[in-house]
Structure 1
Amino acid sequence: MVQFTINTHRFDPYKAFKFRLKWEGRYVAGISKVSALKTSTEPIKFREGNDPKIQRLMPGHQSYEAVTLERGVTHDTEFEDWAKLVYSTDGDSSISLKNFRHDVTIEFMNEAGQIAKVYNLFDCWVSEYTALPELDANSTNVAIESMVLQNTGWARDLSVTEPTET
């Protein structure tokens, strides 16, 4: 069975280590991890009145899980600046009800760095922000900052097609 329509020679699926993320039209530096894009539909149980033994299911509300972004701690303030638009220790006047939601784009690439798929996440806002991880003098781990983005949904950009591999 052919898994790739353009690159019919390709057998292996894409690897999950090449991607870029952007919001407000610009790429965000240093993103090392993005959690899975996941949606679920609530099942609604019902039964017909003439057959009480059989319970049926139908689709109900659809929801989209929050997406977690991680990157190494640097002097770039993109994460912190966005998180402060929802809540700020500087007081209520620094919160931006107009600007705290952003659309986010994830560009997923093949091993050669060609864009293979693009997903757009809609109306994202920061519900959690971790400025510093737990610090440990005996550790050699990279310090990671993270943010959790709530969203109203996501969709694949179907205008982006399978790239021709050479």
Structure 2
Amino acid sequence: MPRFVESTKRDPYRNFNFRVLLNNVEVYACRKISGLTGTVEVVKFRSGNSVSSVDELSPGRTHFEPVTLEAGLTNDTAFQDWATQLIRHEASPGLRAVEPDYRRTVEILVYDLDHNKVVKKFILHNAWCSKFTAMSELAAEANEILVEIVELQHEGFTIEQVA
């Protein structure tokens, strides 16, 4: 009977072991992060002398969907301070924050099942906050935690395999 030996583990990573870093500092105990999506526009073209009725297709501009982070409301204000920088104009009274003060590198670290080591790293480039929800809905009969929500725009992401 043949023996099959698998050299690498093929189990998929779990979606509940992750951390978020802002400029290399862990700042956000998120409970949920939206997916990372990049899309390339399709450009249709047909020359005037073409005998074909089929459009030629070429890649166009790349677009990245915003990323939404949800976290329990705590006393740590590091992420909140950054998230409200453009809303409250804190960098310069009466003026918006200037480049590159409001853009940050955001890293999402995915850990193994035992939460011992990082197995994947997703890096958002030139991220900035476009929407901030300071707290979730309040309800006297509810039993949930307060949640703050941040929506980040970014100029792309990279995925790093961690050894």
Instruction: Output the TM-score relative to the length of structure 2.
Output: 0.85
Structure 1 gaps, min length 5: 162-166
Whether 1:129 aligns to 2:138 is no
Structure 2 gaps, min length 5: 1-5
Q: Aligned partners of 1:50, 1:129: CA distance in 2, in Å?
A: 51
Whether 1:100 aligns to 2:99 is no
Q: Match of 1:60, as an amino acid?
A: G
Aligned CA RMSD, in angstroms, stands at 2.1
Q: Aligned partners of 2:121, 2:61: CA distance in 1, in Å?
A: 25
What stretches of structure 1 move > 3 A for 4+ residues in a row?
A: 89-92
1:33-112 to structure 2, matched below 5 A, reads 33-48=32-47, 49-88=49-88, 93=93, 95-98=96-99, 99-112=101-114
Structure 2 counterpart of 1:164: none
> For the Cα contact (< 8 Å) 2:23–2:104, is it kept in 1?
yes
Q: Which moved more, 1:107-116 or 1:36-45?
A: 107-116
Aligned sequence identity (%): 31
Instruction: Output the TM-score relative to the length of structure 1.
Output: 0.83
Displacement after TM superposition at 1:80 (Å):
2.1
SS at match of 1:87: helix
Q: Aligned partners of 2:158, 2:38: CA distance in 1, in Å?
A: 11
Q: Aligned partners of 2:120, 2:51: CA distance in 1, in Å?
A: 47
SS at match of 1:44: strand
Q: Match of 2:109, as an amino acid?
A: E
Q: Match of 2:37, as an amino acid?
A: K
SS at match of 1:93: coil
